[in-house]
Amino acid sequence: MIDQGKHNVLGVQVNAIDYAAAVDKILAAAREQRPLAVTALAVHGVMTGVQDKAHGARLNAFDLVTPDGQPVRWALNSLYHAQLADRVYGPDLTLKVLEACAEEGLPVYLYGSTEATLERLSGKLLDRLPALKIAGREPSKFRPATPGEPEEIAARIEASGARVVLVGLGCPRQEVFVYAMRDLINAPLLAVGAAFDYHAGQLRKPPPWMQKRGLEWLWRLGLEPGRLWKRYLLLNPAYLARLGAQKTRLWRATPPSPATAKLESFAV
């Protein structure tokens, strides 16, 4: 089990951690019914924090930020000699947390995406983990929250008895949601990225050799070129350039001030 704490990657604080330690942190919070904000960041997630200082400050307020992408793991190994053998990939972390919840009888809540996806996801998860308790599910409204709505959502989740909340709203909406809701819900909230679509069988995973070599972005680009070309063809080179500058000390990756994290509204 590896847990070396947080390290600065382009100004975003990322945990040098492995799957076992990440699951242990999440399950401990679930058992104790205490808040825990969790996300898994690949290059795109890190770069959203670089380009938007307010969002970077929100990310740095998370309790656990795992290195979702291989380039983020490589950064931790190169800058801090973390010696991480693997990334902590959001969909796989999600499944490991669900397996542990099923084993311990801890109910989970699914928030985000569409009702059709949640229905398909619930069926797939229960086929794989018959002992899993799904306390509730709630699709995204795809609009900004109205006054009092966050408290209403939190009350529904709390009333369900859920001990872990999975949030699938896409990056960066899901991280904004988790940041805003963290203090309203006494359970870990996990921003799970594309995990809902993967585990619902709606998005194909790349072959293991592509994942190992950090080429998942190329696979995703091939599946959704119109939507993702800017994300990967512009952000990936920018990430590498900034990482090189941070490593050679040509650029100081200063984390944004926590005061910039103020949030007036967010999408539900």
Domains assigned to the chain? 3-205 (3.40.50), 214-247 (no CATH)
- Give the pLDDT band (50/70/90) at residue 137: very high
- Give the pLDDT band (50/70/90) at residue 63: very high
* CA distance readout (Å), 223 to 40, 90, 100, 114, 173: 21, 19, 32, 20, 22
The pLDDT of 159-166, averaged and rounded, is: 98
Torsions phi, psi for 39 (to 5 deg): -145, 165
Q: Residue 211 above 90 pLDDT? A: no
* CA distance readout (Å), 167 to 139, 188, 191: 10, 10, 5
Q: Residue 91 above 70 pLDDT? A: yes
Q: What is the mean pLDDT of the chain?
A: 92
Q: Residue 201 above 90 pLDDT? A: no
* pLDDT for the residue numbered 98: 98
DSSP 267: B
User: What percent of the chain lies above the pLDDT cut of 70?
Assistant: 93
CA-based torsion, 38, 40, 22, 122: positive or negative: positive
In tens, the pLDDT along 4-33 reads 999 999 999 999 999 999 999 999 999 999
* pLDDT for the residue numbered 233: 75
Torsions phi, psi for 12 (to 5 deg): -105, 130
* pLDDT for the residue numbered 210: 67
Instruction: Compute the distance between CA of residue 229 and CA of residue 184 in angstroms, rounded to an integer.
Output: 36
The pLDDT of 163-177, averaged and rounded, is: 96
One-letter identity of residue 97: V
pTM of the full predicted structure?
0.92
* pLDDT for the residue numbered 200: 86
Instruction: Compute the distance between CA of residue 28 and CA of residue 188 in angstroms, rounded to an integer.
Output: 9
One-letter identity of residue 200: A
Residue at token pair 């995204």: 140
* pLDDT for the residue numbered 264: 76
Q: Which is nearest to 19 in space by CA: 66, 76, 72?
A: 66
More confident residue, 232 or 166: 166
* pLDDT for the residue numbered 208: 78
The pLDDT of 47-51, averaged and rounded, is: 96
The dihedral formed by the CA atoms of 267, 139, 64 and 52, expressed in degrees to the nearest 10 = -20
Instruction: Compute the distance between CA of residue 220 and CA of residue 216 in angstroms, rounded to an integer.
Output: 6
